[in-house]
Amino acid sequence: MTLTIVDYVAYLMLAFKGLLFVVACVFLISGLDELVVDVIYFGRSIYRALFIKKRYRPITEQQLMSVPEQPVAIMIPAWNESDIIFHMVDNTVNTLNYSNFHVFIGTYPNDLDTQREVARLREIHDNVHCIVCRDPGPTSKADCLNWVYMGIKDFEKQNDMEFPVFVMEDAEDIVHPLAIKLFNYLIPRKNMVQLPVVPFEPAHWYQLTRAHYMDEFAENHHKNMVIREVFRRGIPCAGVGCGFSRHALEVLAGDNEEQLVFKLGSLTEDYEMGMRLKNVGVDRAIFVKLPIRRVATRKSLTGKTVQVEKEELVSIRNVFPAEFKASVRQKSRWIAGIALQGWENLGWKGDLLTKYVLFKDRKALLTSQVNMLGYFVIMFVASYYAVTWLFPDAYHYPPLVEKGTLLWDIIVITTVFLILRLLVRMYCVFRFYDAKRALLSVLNFVWANFINFFATNRAIMMFAHYLSTGKWIKWDHTKHVPPSAEELSAFRRRIGDMLVEKRIISFEQLEGAILEQQKTGRLLGDILILKGLVSENELIQTLGMQLRISTRDVDPYETPVELLRLLPRDLAVLYSVFPVEVRNNKLVVAASTIPRREELSRLEEVAGMPIELCLTTKNSLSFSIQRGYERLDQQERPRPRLGQTLLAKGVVTQEQLAEALKRQQQTYSRLGDILLDESLISYNDLKTACEEHQASPGEQLGEFLVRNNYISNEQLSHAMNLQKMRFRTLGEVLAEMQVVSREQMASILREMENEQDLGT
């Protein structure tokens, strides 16, 4: 019997109908699985809103701050991370609102670039340590973490101490300032604490690869992890933002002959840890979503600046891959570790609920394949109906799906499940981000299925190679892109918001200052000071809180002359810094703003030692540079200091002298600030001129501005006269404070001059 094209198409449609039935059944089972989780989650949420939250208040920031700090060990495995390790760890150490912690970074003997960056970190931060693994890399993340753990144990022996808390992070993490405080609050009452991971938003909506991470983590860490805690069948550790008690790690180490905490060869040692803890009887694991309320300003839809109170999750922020290939590589490692190695190592042991949890973790091996089959079937069905619409006179085959049949009912149910699935994901994305990202998650959902399909098949091939050769799957490192400055400061609060929250200024005052900043380009703090809304001291104290940097008053006469020679005057003027003291083999340098990294490197190169920054007011800094370096120009026999003379004669007390010096420094204004205050130059022109002036460090700034036609001679003279008029000598300040009379001060000054002339 000869088959015609009509017969072939009929057989093809029959095959596709069978395929459609299989796909629909898999979607039905998966949809029922997700529906169970959704019902439990929303039911629990309603119950907690009605009964629990009224009786128990969330942990407050004040509660976190009130608990004494335990020693904390932060473990960071690093392979080929030289591009980001310095900036990320430096940012973490500087922004954490915690002091009693040490960072242990695991590196490899054949990764000298990363070791070099860690060495730079150690020069700046005493609490950063480098652990070098025994074998050349890459081995596996678990192997690296085991060496880090052994290095920590060795550190404990050498320093006769123990760490009660261990925290796992990655090199690319941006950690919330209160994260370690939260671990400190909950551990050791809890043996494991997992924080949410919140990916950064991509710059553009069409960057679907990076965006799909947002959606998946939002659903997993807003809903699914909560359900895992409810089931009490082991919370999977995310590998970052996860804290462990000392007891938990010691039990895991004692659970195997090698005494290793992390299972060698594991690609997702973090996932297995949560399950292993449950298996060895170490419970009390918790997933924590702790929002901290912050006052912030943002643009409304009309473009107006408005004040809002937002909730900021204590979480870990991450920049995930933006390229399709890099995402497939990363997710294939996750799938191979969780679904395949997890299957091999953990099996299907446990009660029915445990098996259900394991099924949820491993069903992606099937659903990712079926999703692509579903797209294939949809394309075929769409093509069929397109042909029948375009060619109505062609041969008509029976419909693939007839209303009232079992297949029809299954497809209707799975369609409802799909809509529910999208709505739930949109809700989770909205809770983590905003309405715009929630709507875009529908588009990301489709793209994510393609990524997961290729990642799953790559994972299967990787695991098949492991089974056939017996060789561990090596650490398939994801190349991390350094975050932008905005991403790096994700948890750093804006200075204006902090001033409003501290009630130093009102929101209306901040709004007015922001409008002026947009017009003039001047720094917000300078505008607030000029308007008299904040004092320079209030501003610098708030800036110190924002940047986690100490603040201090600087006395230029207390700085040893050797340090003034160590850091030359031209560099001090160029970078607006002043040497204060040497402490712990570091040169403490005062500044009113944070120098750029390259500027700090230049200062460290000249000084020959690491630099530690402290903050001081602009007036204090300018006064210190002016008066401090004048001491180098004095004759061998220095002039006696008025303040010390007054103290020796008992005319003033130490407290009165300190207050007078502080007031005197506040009267010293920089030439550039006066030019701005008098509107003789714009902020942008002054900024450009200062950058150009760096090439002529020997020339006075005023002369440079006149020579390059930024200002006229008359304007320079006017500004310098104002500078002179505003400045008060120490004697004038003490007289204004009514500590000494003007006549008494004049007599003491004459006496000092006579002693200087006589050489006594």
DSSP designation for 163: -
Alpha carbon separation from 168 to 218, 341, 563 (Å, rounded): 20, 21, 40
> Measuring CA to CA, which residue among 447, 444, 410, 411 is closest to residue 425?
444
- Secondary structure of residue 363 in the 3-state scheme: coil
Where do the DSSP E strands lie in 375-517?
Answer: none
Domains, the chain, with CATH or none = 61-206+235-285 (3.90.550.10), 549-634 (3.30.300.160)
Alpha-carbon Rg of the chain, whole angstroms? 33
pTM exceeds cut of 0.75: no
670 contacts 718 by C-beta, under 8 angstroms: no
- Secondary structure of residue 296 in the 3-state scheme: strand
> Measuring CA to CA, which residue among 640, 616, 630, 320 is closest to residue 483?
320
163 contacts 69 by C-beta, under 8 angstroms: no
Rounded to whole angstroms, the Cα distance separating 118 from 67 reads 31
Structure-token pair, residue 568: 């030359």
pLDDT at 760: 47
How far is the first Cα of the chain from the last one, in angstroms, to the nearest whole number? 130
Structure-token pair, residue 248: 């938990």
146 contacts 163 by C-beta, under 8 angstroms: no
Query: Please, which residues have CB within 8 angstroms of residue 190's CB and are 6 or more apart in sequence?
Result: 245, 284, 285, 286
Task: Report, as ranges of residue numbers, the positions in the chain whose pLDDT lies below 50.
Answer: 635, 760
